[in-house]
Amino acid sequence: MGTVPILCILWGGTRMDSRIMQKATMVIVFLSGLCLGQGCSDTSAVAAQDVNRGPSDRVDEILNRLNRRTGEIKTYQCAIEHLSRQPLFDSQTLRTGRMWYLRDKSKSLLRVDFDTLKQDDQPQEKYVEQFFFDGVWLTRVDHQLKEVKKHQLIDPNELDANRSVDAFELISEHLPIVGFTGTDKLRKEFDITLAEPNSSEPNDRVRLRMTVKPDSVYKDDWVWIDFWIDTKNYLPAKVVTLSTQEDIYEISLLNAMVNEPIDAKIFDPVIPQGFVEAEVVPLKGNR
């Protein structure tokens, strides 16, 4: 399986430059993996448990609970608000959309739709891009350029007949943080601490600060990553990151629904009439 330029694929075609697009997509994928690593049971608040334990113990508890629940979720869907800021240029871009995920014994499917874009003080406008992952191919449908691009992410001959390839598991092989399935990997790449509560956030959220270690594989990309977990349902609520270029990316997950029925047909790309297949990139081309 070759190294795949997942980040460029997902954000190609927008009006942000490629560096920003890559960073933004890494955040979304990280957050997606984090969402799908959680369970939907046990709604007790972390903050209310073992109040006499130290911060390090509480971090361990949070990470262990996240790790234990990996694989419990069969479906996940939510609204997304993604804000990217460039303080150096006093500029920001807000995109909104939705995400759907489905996993069973035979397949893993992912769809992300972005439908609006707002740059700085300009009015919000319709700006549609769709991304579909079927376990082998990632398809991007750009409604502005009216074109479709397909990128092969895995060799079908490498698939295990007894085990489906999870969308976020596949991506995590290229970006180990994204699936949030292994606390050992997180500990290796980040110093993780329990952050002080943020007065602007609801009281029922816990925030972890993940500072990139000097020898981390992410040292050229990120300075730190913060994420908030909603302790009412133990699902992630928001992620904020600072890049090495001092850009800031903020993603909020809204109105999440876990293990609700999803029609698998929504993961089939529907190509509007008149759209052209601009590019098909086989796995060899991604190496």
Angle in degrees, 0-180, between the axes of helices 167-174 and 18-36, rounded to the nearest 10: 130
- 29 closest CA partner among 87, 75, 65, 80: 80
In tens, the pLDDT along 224-274 reads 988 887 777 777 788 888 989 999 988 888 998 989 999 999 999 999 999
- DSSP state string for 266-280: GGS--PPTT-EEEEE
- The predicted pLDDT at position 83 comes to 92
In tens, the pLDDT along 24-74 reads 555 555 555 555 544 444 444 444 444 455 677 888 887 777 666 656 778
Local structure of 225: helix, strand or coil: strand
- 252 closest CA partner among 40, 98, 71, 85: 98
Average pLDDT, the chain: 76
Give the pLDDT band of residue 174 (cuts 50, 70, 90).
very low
Q: Is the pLDDT reported for residue 98 higher than 80?
A: yes
- Hey, which bits of 71-136 come out as E strands? 75-86, 91-103, 108-119, 125-133
Domains of the chain and any CATH numbers: 6-45+71-184+240-284 (2.50.20)
- Hey, which bits of the chain come out as E strands? 75-86, 91-103, 108-119, 125-133, 137-142, 147-152, 190-194, 205-212, 222-230, 235-243, 248-258, 276-281
pTM exceeds 0.85 for this model: no
Q: Using alpha carbons only, what angle is made at residue 46 by residues 76 and 40, rounded to the nearest 5 degrees?
A: 20
* CA atoms lying within 13 Å on the CB side of residue 133: 25
**DSSP symbol at 123:** P
Share of the chain above pLDDT 90, in %: 28
- The predicted pLDDT at position 44 comes to 45
Give the pLDDT band of residue 222 (cuts 50, 70, 90).
confident
